[in-house]
Amino acid sequence: MPVISFLLDYIAVMGLFIFLGYYFYEGVKRMADAIRFFLYSSPFLDRQSVWFFPPPYALFALCLLPKGSIRLLMMNFEK
């Protein structure tokens, strides 16, 4: 019986991580789209220079932000 209990707990925890990871991925994707839209609409940049701002650099920049500002950014995208 302990094996079945362990397997059920493992499946539940892994399902939770997959669920939360999917929503985090969707949020980051929407944020990257918003940043790309902002760069496309900027009068100071042409379209070719936007591709020098790929999503991995955006993710790295998000990791440098404090948690409160990330929460504020996410609240702005929830509207």
pTM score of the predicted model: 0.36
Which domain covers residue 7, as residue numbers? 2-78
pLDDT in tens, 10-41: 888 888 888 877 878 888 888 878 777 776 66
Confidence of residue 67 (pLDDT cuts 50, 70, 90): low
How many domains does one find in the chain?
1
Q: Tell me if 45 sits within 8 A of 14, measured CB to CB.
A: no
The per-residue b/e assignment along 11-48, b for 16 or more CB within 10 angstroms, e otherwise, is eeeeeeeeeeeeeeeebeeebbeebbeebeeeeeeeee
